[in-house]
Amino acid sequence: MQIIRSIKKMQVISRQLASKNKIGLVPTMGFLHEGHLSLIRKAKKLSDKVIVTIFVNPTQFAPNEDLSKYPRDEKGDIAKIKAAGGDIVFIPKRDSIYPDRFETYVNCEKITQTLEGESRPTHFRGVTTIVAKLFNIIRPDVAVFGQKDYQQVMVLKKMVVDLDYPIKMIIAPTVREKDGLAMSSRNKYFNAVQRKEAICLYQALKTAKQLVKSDNVNETIKLRNSMKRVIKKICPTAKVDYIAFTDFESLKITKKVNKNTICSLAVKLHGVRLIDNMKMG
């Protein structure tokens, strides 16, 4: 397995590989868990050579967010990527991705203005910019992302369509812990007691889906209120950022659940902001 840190070297090698191989890409910010590794294994099935990137992207963090505290474990990540079947790890330096006087950004408009985009106004501009740069450097045939970051994936799919990238976008299912908590690098911030309370997001989503399925409740205002009660019961100090029911493709807010509805939520627990989602139909 190769480790590459130079953009120019990555460009040369990816061009060489592309002549005889289908290239799969899994972009990450490192501190890998089983959710990331499942994406690598998925990419391995869909391509000949898998390139995994590790880059903690500063442009998707707001000034008050946890960029400096974001967990890092490069040595451990490299070992995990190798075990999962990755062929190349691309670890660019910050000043090579964003050199002095960098001023060109990619911005997806309407689809970024709700949910995470409303709560974190500069976030998606940073995401689309770094992924566009990685696409340009590596030129993959397939890119694999996880559904946990659902809105992010839909934004990137829109970017791929609008900017004519010849890339197949794959959304892999969210990988969860045994108790249902979506795997996230930020879960390490919790102590044992807080970790038990973190399942409130999953339990709230599961409650909403059960109400839709068994009790035929489809009014989102009722479902939202039920979810808030579940969250507060499990973690009384939790602060709900948003609970939104939207169309799976367009992300348009819906007042009644149908087969294409997905529920997304963001909750701050003990200073840690978690997101999750689940299809209701």
In the residue annotation, 36 being an active-site residue is answered as: yes
Which CATH superfamily, name and number, covers 185-279? Answer: Pantoate-beta-alanine ligase, C-terminal domain (3.30.1300.10)
Ranges of the chain whose pLDDT falls below 50 = none
Which among 37, 55, 66 is positioned nearest to 129, based on CA atoms?
Answer: 55
Long-range contacts formed by 12-18: CB under 8 A, 24+ apart: 13/88, 14/51, 14/137, 14/138, 14/139, 15/139, 17/49, 18/139, 18/141
For residue 281, the model assigns a pLDDT of 83
The predicted structure's pLDDT at residue 93? 97
pLDDT on residue 51: 98
Question: 33, 36, 123, 270: which one is catalytic?
Answer: 36
Please name the fold of domain 2-172: Rossmann fold (3.40.50)
Q: What is the pLDDT of residue 139?
A: 98
Residue in 146, 104, 145 with CA at minimum distance from that of residue 125:
104
Structure confidence at residue 215 (pLDDT): 86
Burial group, residue 279, by CB count within 10 angstroms (0-12, 13-18, 19+): middle
Please report the pLDDT score of residue 62 as a whole number: 87
Q: Given this model, what pLDDT does residue 65 score?
A: 84
Q: What is the model's pTM?
A: 0.94
pLDDT at 69: 86
Q: Are 174 and 146 in contact (CB under 8 A)?
A: yes
The residue ranges of DSSP E strands in the chain, in sequence order, are: 2-4, 23-28, 49-54, 88-90, 142-146, 168-172, 239-247, 261-269, 272-279
pLDDT of residue 242: 97
pLDDT digits (tens, 9 = 90+) for 147-181: 999 999 999 999 999 999 999 999 999 999 999 99
What distance in Å separates the CA atoms of residue 47 and residue 25, rounded to the nearest whole number?
9
Segments making up each domain of the chain, as ranges: 2-172, 185-279
Burial class (CB in 10 A: 0-12, 13-18, 19+), 168: middle
Joined tokens for residue 193: 């007691």
In the prediction, which pLDDT does 218 show?
93
